[in-house]
Amino acid sequence: MVKVSVGVTVYNVEEYLRECLESILNQTFTDFEVIMVDDGSTDNSFSICQEYVAKDSRFKLIHQENKGRGQAGAKNTCLRYMTGEFVTWIDSDDIVDNNYLERLLEVQAKTGADTVKCFRKYIRDGNVYFVQGYEEGINNVDGVAELTKKDGLLNSLDNYLASVEFWGTLAPRELYKGLVLSQGVVLEDQGNKFKLYLRSKKNVLLLDQLYSYRIRKGSLMDDKRGKTPLSKELDHLQDCTYNWDKLMYYVDVTDYDVKEVHEAYMKKLDRIIPSEINLSEEDTEIYREAINRHKLKISKL
């Protein structure tokens, strides 16, 4: 059994894929396997994956028909083929530092945590940007901070601690046993990562910026720099509330701080300010009405 299984889901990323796979190939820690799932790419991504399978036996490739919106379908396939003691995820358009695996494993061994999540920097237009001041207000010892189960769950609403994503996270494969990620929606990390926190006993944040997250033109983060149409904002709101409703369902089933999480959810909906997303006065009213309808719906649960 290898030490770490690295999951890479692939869909039409030929422009960035080699850079991603090279960053994995250059890891200082070498006892790993890479499970690449091509989710029905129509560009040259599958052929690029084949190149790495041919030159390094640690790289495995599975091809499947596209499972619809988001990466959850491809992640589920990855999990079926993984054999490592630990699992981590790297998005196929991102890159990681050469000591990414080494540092995550060091922190896990030192803390005994079920999940270790590192922080990110950004890539935009080929330039790398480090985040400044993100560690302020986070109590840590030597760059490692404990993440309580409650904070892990509540962070699914705001991600103020940058722990909601699967990428950049190391966790035992045993923690994923029997877990199936919900498919067919975007923001699937937001709607699934909390399941690990419900199972975990200890979680930590590693403040090292070991993961480089790429902001691509047309991405959600790129869209937020300018105006977006009301329909797109309403679709995004629907995706978010779908995932937050699912969080509430799991919290209710497990009977874990139901009242506190529900109150935090209602406050989150109150904090969504349409003016911040550059809508017209008329569209702002429509957007706010959509939020109020959802608040009324969940207040009856």
How far is residue 194 from each of residues 152, 178, 293, measured CA to CA in Å? 7, 15, 25
Quick check: 172 and 83 in contact, CB under 8 A? no
The reply to whether CATH 3.90.550.10 applies to domain 4-214 is yes
pLDDT tens, residue by residue, 56-91: 999 999 999 988 788 999 999 999 999 999 999 999
Closest CA to 180 of 256, 250, 264, 277: 250
Tell me the pLDDT band of 183, cut-offs 50, 70 and 90. confident
- Contacts of residue 217, defined as CB under 8 A and 6 or more positions apart, other chains included, come to none
Which residues on neighbouring strands pair with residue 119, listed in sequence order?
209
DSSP category for residue 89: E
- Looking at every residue in the chain, the average pLDDT score rounds to 92
Nearby residues of 82 by Cβ (< 8 Å), 6 or more positions away? 5, 7, 33, 35, 173
- pLDDT, greater one: 263 or 272: 263
For the chain, what percent of residues have pLDDT higher than 90? 77
Q: What is the mean pLDDT of residues 160-178?
A: 95
Largest Cα–Cα distance of the chain, in whole Å?
59
Integer angstrom CA distances of residue 105 from 81, 89, 169, 206: 21, 14, 11, 11
Helix/strand/coil for 220: helix
Residue 220 pLDDT grade (very low, low, confident, very high; cuts 50, 70, 90): very low
What pLDDT sits at residue 225? Answer: 44
User: What pLDDT is stored for residue 160 in this prediction?
Assistant: 86
Q: In this predicted structure, what is the pLDDT of residue 67?
A: 82
Predicted local confidence at residue 144, as pLDDT: 97
Residue 139 has pLDDT above 80, yes or no: yes
Give just the sign of the alpha carbon dihedral 169, 173, 177, 181.
positive
Residue 219 predicted with pLDDT over 60: no
Q: Are 72 and 99 in contact (CB under 8 A)?
A: no
pTM recorded for the entire structure: 0.92
